[in-house]
Structure 1
């Protein structure tokens, strides 16, 4: 569904990705793991158009989307939940969701009512400003806003960052529901148990390249990969 081939990317003169190859199967959950600073977030930002690839190609559903602006990539069905969440604090929860819904096509599967049902915490906070939400509620809003785009793939960067254990459990359960519905997920996550509990496929990164590929069961059994690439 989503493929990066020979991608070089970075920030200004600093190159972070070095010929990276990554392929995400339709209907799967793909976890991109590795130590801090190896290029995981850069990979996601390049995939969704927030960063331009210096070379290589990004394709989505067989279409070349390399270098397209993020809003164009989003309209094709790629929804991004950044690590920073980027909730609009001055807008209400309802307004945050309605604004994202403008990126969806006609007759979207995800509506305001469906998001409110999916995240009951948000249903009671629709008139509250984004700045009035807890960290967990902001993460739910960030995911809900992405769903309002009616995506074909949901790309998440560190969805558990800074959250309390009970909220992490709730987010895990909701992502499990999305997986069961057939939605494709690409996930960067430092919480290994969280990631492997969701993932079908796993790629490990080091120094801007993919250094290991396999399924979640294979990674769980590969102690050498844990020590060498994850440091756990």
Structure 2
């Protein structure tokens, strides 16, 4: 579904990714693991066109990814950044309506009603501004807004960052519902238990390169990989 082939990218003259290759398969969840600074978030930003691809190729559903964020979103990839990037001065309703208006399609699966069924708390906060929400509520809003784009691939960067354990469990349960519904996902996550209980496939990045790949079951059983590349 999504293929990265020998991708190189970085920030200005600082190269972060060094020939990274990976494949995210349709209907499955792929988690990218690695230590801080390994290149995980850089990978997602390069896919979305937020950082320039300096070498290699990115293909989604058989077509080259344009490198322009809006066109990438239009192609069916939705991105929830680590910073969430909701509009703090807009209400919850307004944040959702922006995505619903721009990406609504006849017969599309995700509607305002459906995302509020997934996240009932947002329905209680529709008139509140983004800046008035808790961190967990902001994450719910960011995911709901991404779903209203009706993506074929949902990309999430550190979805549990800074959240209380009870909210982490809620986010896990909701993502598990999306997985059960067949939504393909690509997740960067530092929480090893969260990632390996949700993902089907794992790729570990070290110094901008893929250093290990396999199933979630495989990496849970491999203490050496966990210690060497993840510090678990």
Alignment TM class, shorter chain as reference: over 0.9
**Aligned equivalent of 2:69:** 70
Is 1:141 equivalent to 2:113 in the alignment? no
Output aligned runs, 1:3-18, within 5 Å.
3-18=3-18
Could you say what the CA RMSD is over the residues aligned between the two structures, in angstroms?
Answer: 0.8
State which drifts further: 5-14 or 98-107. 98-107
Output aligned runs, 1:133-172, within 5 Å.
133-172=133-172
**Aligned equivalent of 2:106:** 106
Deviations 1:66-103 (A, max 9, x none): 42x11110011100000000010011111101111213
Whole-Å separation in 1 of the counterparts to 2:17 and 2:230? 18
Whole-Å separation in 1 of the counterparts to 2:147 and 2:179? 13
Taking structure 1 as the reference length, what is the TM-score of the superposition? 0.98
Contact 2:33 2:40 in 1 (8 A): yes
Secondary structure in 2 matching 1:54: strand
Output aligned runs, 1:1-232, within 5 Å.
1-67=1-67, 69-101=68-100, 102-232=102-232
Deviation of residue 222 (structure 1)? Answer: 0.8
Contact 1:52 1:66 in 2 (8 A): no
Deviation of residue 204 (structure 1)? Answer: 0.2
Contact 2:66 2:72 in 1 (8 A): no
Contact 1:74 1:103 in 2 (8 A): no
- How many residue pairs match? The answer is 231
Contact 1:116 1:123 in 2 (8 A): yes
Secondary structure in 1 matching 2:229: helix
Gaps of 5+ in 2: none
Whole-Å separation in 2 of the counterparts to 1:91 and 1:162? 22
Taking structure 2 as the reference length, what is the TM-score of the superposition? 0.98
